[in-house]
């Protein structure tokens, strides 16, 4: 190990974890193609990975039915005081949580190999990137981390003898006795699952789950929960945002970062193909943005990830053709159905549903079956480099300059198609009050209104009152060079329950208006909630949308907006004394503006 790992702190930590978890073997990952193949062969041999004959170098996995999604109730932000974690996080005192988890970790890797995974979030060596080391006993985690992060021996070289890294410890929590046969998906029962973050120490401990962001610790754990706390301390931003480049017919580039809660079309927008002639959209990232102020005073963003971990159900050539083209080879599918001809299938996929398939639980399925063939949270893990519209600058070490921030949510009424914030402070108010009506994909009864500030509620690693203040601080730092802020709602419905806006590629029309606002080429009219497009300024050429539908899409019902006030008040009150005064002033400004328009 000494030959491979020259970093003393890392050597010491590897020894400590090995002594605690007692694996049968220790393997230092190097990120090579041979290593990936070695892990996949191991997973095929154990019956966990199913090769897909229809897709080269692609494999299907089926998780345990108890281990299918993020476990928000078992996710903890452990800080020195409950107040630091804030009201949106589950809190346990660090001493108590560490004691519980140390007991669980004792001997937890018995019968397994301990993998040491050196990875970079962001291009290796970028000034915006961070280095993490994940220790895991799951080869499934190794292959997914290969795709989702930059796993490489170069990371160890960059660390040198005294470089710093974020330690990420993970175990599926299923030790094996001598001769004991492993299960197809080893994991611990729900009451023993812990996804724990210690932001004051930049430390992540996960136990009991082998699925998604619970186990791929570079994803939400590091890239958002720990990174958001680091960003606040260090003066940058870690946000739950897609990043795209839009180029107009004259060749001018605009970079847009957008935050939406789940089930609001984030990946679709990141890979959108504009329906307006001459405009081009390229994807830089579909989920997370890390942003720092550059030498010119502007905000520069990188996508810290290396792949897409997307929801499969609902993805099709009609909803997201570029995602479908990304999935032709070199993909890991989890909890999709297996067709008789050796391909994957999920609800909403193009073409006829199969006459027979093996469902995500490994059981026979036909169209007459009472349950879905794929789990609602079935996933694909695919290299971002395979996306046909990946931007040539997506790995630029210094990042791309952000012109526009977009917030949004799924609202069947009240919120118009698009409006612009009056200024940065008003933009923070829009982000802080962002709300979505719940769907099956997120928490809560379907149709309930859920406030999800900045789409960060499940991912902010500290008190969100302080997080709001950090947004104001960043605005102060950026001054006149701050991105413009907009709010969108693609999901408004007519009285008879039909979507008013076609969405998908036609969302480019709304983005075009934003770019023209940035350039000062179109005006807007002031309303109590923000700046709305003037009639005729949205490019609707070739779109068969009635004047009545457009009018309804842009209408503002002041009574309905006033009805939002008690809910916003309740939402803001949860942050108590950590609530920034500037946000309170914005709320009062909102109330006053509505009052003037009785």
Give me the tens of pLDDT residue by residue for the chain, a chain 598 residues long. Answer: 556 899 999 999 999 999 999 999 999 999 999 999 999 999 999 999 999 999 999 999 999 999 999 999 999 999 999 999 999 999 999 999 999 999 999 999 999 999 999 999 999 999 999 999 999 999 999 999 999 999 999 999 999 999 999 999 999 999 999 999 999 999 999 999 999 999 999 999 999 999 999 999 999 999 999 999 999 999 999 999 999 999 999 999 999 999 998 878 899 999 999 999 999 999 999 999 999 999 999 999 999 999 999 999 999 999 999 999 999 999 999 999 999 999 999 999 999 999 999 999 999 999 999 999 999 999 999 999 999 999 999 999 999 999 999 999 999 999 999 999 999 999 999 999 999 997 654 444 556 899 999 999 999 999 999 999 999 999 999 999 999 999 999 999 999 999 999 999 999 999 999 999 999 999 999 999 999 999 999 999 999 999 999 999 999 999 999 999 999 999 999 999 999 999 999 999 999 999 976 4
Q: Are 357 and 402 in contact (CB under 8 A)?
A: no
What are 334-366's pLDDT values in tens digits?
999 999 999 999 999 999 999 999 999 999 999
* Residues labelled catalytic: 264
Report how far residue 214's alpha carbon sits from residue 208's, in angstroms, rounded to the nearest whole number: 9
* Domain 308-386 part of CATH 1.25.40.10: no
The helix/strand/coil state of 107 is coil
Number of H helices, E strands in the chain: 17, 31
Tell me, what's the pLDDT at 443? 45
What's the CATH architecture for 238-303+394-596?
Answer: Alpha-Beta Complex (3.90)
List the one residue out of 220, 57, 263 whose CA is nearest residue 132.
220
pLDDT of residue 419: 98
The answer to whether domain 8-30+72-234 and domain 308-386 are alike in fold is no
Rounded CA gap, 201 and 225, in Å?
12
List the end-to-end C-alpha distance of the chain, in Å, as a whole number: 72
In degrees and rounded to multiples of 5, residue 410 shows phi and psi of -95, 105
Torsion of CA 182, 183, 184, 190, to 10 degrees: -130
pLDDT tens-digit profile of 516-551? 999 999 999 999 999 999 999 999 999 999 999 999
Provide the 3-class DSSP secondary structure of residue 308: strand
Domain ranges within the chain, ordered by starting residue: 8-30+72-234, 238-303+394-596, 308-386
pLDDT for the residue numbered 439: 62
pLDDT value for 448: 86
Exposed (0-12), middle (13-18) or buried (19+): which is 25, by Cβ within 10 Å? exposed
Q: Which two tokens stand for residue 158?
A: 């960059």
With beta carbons less than 8 A apart as the criterion, state whether 84 and 113 touch. Answer: no
By three-state DSSP, how is residue 245 classified? strand
What CA–CA distance (Å, rounded) separates 351 from 316? 9
- Report the C-alpha gap between 592 and 589 in whole angstroms: 5
Angle separating helix axes 33-45 and 139-148, nearest 10 degrees: 140
pTM: 0.97
Would you state the pLDDT for residue 442?
43
Helix axes 581-596, 565-573, angle to 10 degrees: 170
The predicted pLDDT at position 3 comes to 65
Whether the CB-CB separation of 21 and 109 falls below 8 Å is answered with: yes
Alpha helices for 217-295 (secondary structure H): 227-234, 266-270
Q: Return the pLDDT at 597.
A: 61
What's the confidence (pLDDT) of residue 262?
Answer: 80
Torsion of the alpha carbons at 578, 581, 582 and 583, rounded to the nearest 10: 60
Give me the pLDDT at residue 291, please: 98
The structural architecture, per CATH, of the domain 8-30+72-234 is: 3-Layer(aba) Sandwich (3.40)
- Token pair 């002031």 in the structure block, residue: 526
Give the model's pLDDT for residue 4.
80
Contact 285/393 with Cβ under 8 angstroms?
A: no
């Amino acid at each position: 190990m000494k030959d491979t790992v020259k970093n003393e702190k890392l050597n010491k930590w590897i020894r400590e974890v090995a002594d605690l978890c007692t694996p049968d073997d220790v393997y230092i990952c190097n990120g090579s193609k041979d290593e990936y193949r070695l892990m996949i062969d191991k997973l095929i041999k154990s019956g966990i990975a199913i090769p897909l004959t229809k897709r080269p170098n692609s494999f299907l996995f089926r998780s345990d039915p108890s281990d299918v999604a993020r476990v928000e109730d078992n996710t903890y932000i452990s800080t020195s005081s409950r107040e630091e974690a804030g009201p949106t996080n589950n809190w346990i005192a660090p001493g108590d949580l560490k004691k519980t988890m140390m007991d669980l970790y004792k001997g937890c890797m018995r019968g397994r190999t301990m993998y040491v995974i050196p990875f970079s979030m962001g291009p290796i060596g970028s000034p915006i990137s961070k280095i993490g080391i994940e220790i895991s006993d799951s080869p499934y985690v190794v292959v997914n981390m290969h795709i989702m992060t930059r796993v490489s021996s170069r990371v160890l070289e960059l660390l040198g003898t005294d470089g710093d890294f974020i330690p990420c410890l993970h175990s599926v929590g299923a030790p094996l006795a001598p001769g004991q046969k492993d299960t197809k998906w080893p994991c611990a029962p729900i009451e023993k699952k812990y996804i724990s973050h210690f932001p004051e120490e930049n430390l992540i401990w996960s136990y009991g789950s082998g699925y998604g962001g619970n186990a791929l610790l570079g994803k939400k754990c590091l890239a958002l929960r720990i990174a958001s706390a680091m960003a606040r301390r260090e003066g940058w931003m870690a946000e739950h945002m897609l990043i795209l480049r839009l180029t107009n017919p004259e060749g001018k580039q605009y970079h847009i970062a957008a935050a939406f809660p789940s089930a609001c079309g984030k990946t679709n927008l990141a890979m959108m193909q504009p329906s307006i002639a001459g405009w081009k959209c390229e994807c830089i990232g579909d989920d997370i943005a890390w942003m720092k102020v550059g030498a010119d005073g502007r905000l520069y963003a990188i996508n810290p990830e290396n792949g897409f971990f997307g929801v499969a159900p609902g993805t099709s050539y009609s909803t997201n053709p570029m995602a479908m083209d990304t999935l032709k080879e070199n993909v890991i599918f989890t909890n999709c159905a297996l067709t008789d001809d050796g391909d994957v299938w999920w609800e909403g996929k193009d073409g006829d549903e199969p006459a027979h398939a093996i469902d995500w639980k490994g059981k026979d399925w036909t169209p007459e079956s009472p349950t879905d063939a794929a789990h609602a949270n079935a996933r694909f893990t695919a290299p971002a480099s395979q996306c046909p519209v990946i931007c040539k600058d997506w790995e630029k070490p210094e990042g791309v300059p952000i012109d526009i921030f977009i917030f949004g949510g799924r609202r069947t009424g009240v919120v118009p198609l698009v409006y612009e914030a009056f200024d940065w402070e008003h933009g923070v108010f829009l982000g802080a009050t962002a709300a979505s009506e719940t769907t099956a994909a997120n928490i809560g009864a379907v149709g309930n209104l859920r406030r999800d500030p900045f789409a960060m509620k499940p991912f902010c690693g500290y008190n969100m009152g302080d997080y709001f203040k950090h947004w104001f601080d960043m605005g102060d730092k950026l001054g006149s060079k701050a991105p413009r802020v907009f709010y969108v709602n693609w999901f408004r419905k007519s009285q008879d329950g039909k979507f008013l806006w076609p969405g998908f590629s036609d969302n480019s029309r709304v983005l075009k208006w934003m770019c023209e606002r940035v350039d000062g080429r179109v005006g807007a009219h002031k309303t109590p909630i923000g700046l709305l497009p003037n009639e005729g300024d949205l490019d609707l050429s070739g779109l068969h949308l009635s004047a009545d539908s457009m009018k309804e899409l842009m209408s503002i019902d002041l009574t309905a907006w006033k009805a939002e006030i008690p809910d916003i008040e309740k939402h803001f009150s949860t942050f108590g004394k950590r609530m920034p005064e500037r946000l309170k002033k914005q709320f009062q400004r909102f109330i006053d503006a509505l009052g003037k328009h009785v």
